[in-house]
């Protein structure tokens, strides 16, 4: 489900975890591609801010 892009909150409910923390602690190691995908746009935004640029 994670590889298919299922949201962690959906996964939490499907697995019956009471807390999202449980889900993330158990499955965060399966998310490195998503972490990279989020880091790239965040890096561009931050780079634009440090150069005085505007971001959308």
pTM of the model: 0.52
Q: Where are the domains of the chain?
A: 8-50
Over residues 8-53, the pLDDT tens digits come to: 899 999 999 999 999 988 888 877 676 677 777 878 888 887 766 5
Contacts of 56 (CB under 8 A, 6+ apart): none
Backbone angles phi, psi at 5, to 5 degrees: 90, 15
């Amino acid at each position: 489900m994670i590889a298919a892009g299922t949201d962690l909150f959906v996964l939490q409910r499907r697995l019956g975890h009471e807390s999202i923390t449980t889900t993330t602690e158990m499955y965060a190691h399966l998310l490195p591609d998503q972490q990279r995908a989020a880091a790239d746009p965040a890096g561009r935004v931050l780079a634009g801010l440090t150069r005085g640029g505007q971001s959308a």
